[in-house]
Amino acid sequence: MVCALAAVPALAATVEAPKKAEVGQRIEVEAKGLKDGKYTLSLVRRLDKPSGISCLGKIGKARRVTEGEAKFKGKVPARLRCYSGPDAEQFQGRIKTVPGKARLVIGVKDGPGAYRGDKSFVRRKIRIVE
């Protein structure tokens, strides 16, 4: 089963993360209540709703979860990769990470911009600042 970035909300999973960060800043994010799987933390930004293009950048290393908890550490990426299509698999190019609203997303990848719908999927708002 595949779900795109606007995926299924997490059931009982929680996340602790900073509310704002600068590009290149090292952040730490902790998630609890996750189903077993190999999770990634990404910074995600939707370009605009009509285009359906979402841009994302990986933060830190993927983590194997077997007991419901994971800590992610890494730098806010300077560039994001953009995807479109029903399963967010069509590469559209790269953009610079700029100040503004974004989301931190924790999920099990099922493609470049898609996450597995049978695993936990957690989002948290973050503001990128200068």
Query: pLDDT digit string (tens) for 61-111?
Result: 999 999 999 999 999 999 999 998 777 788 999 999 999 999 999 999 998
Q: Where are the alpha helices (DSSP H) in the chain?
A: none
Q: What is the DSSP track for 60-90?
A: S--EEESSSEEEEEEEPPSEEEEEETTTT-E
Q: Amino acid letter at 74? A: G
Residue 15's beta-bridge partner residues? 31
**Which of 13-27, 83-97, 111-125 bottoms out in mean pLDDT, i.e. has the lowest?**
83-97
CATH code for 2-129? 2.60.40.230
Higher pLDDT, 39 or 46: 39
The predicted structure's pLDDT at residue 84: 87
Tokens of 119: 């695993």
Residue ranges of domains in the chain: 2-129
Please provide the average confidence, as pLDDT, over all residues in the chain. 89
Backbone dihedral region of 78: left (phi > 0), alpha (psi from -120 to 50 degrees) or beta?
alpha
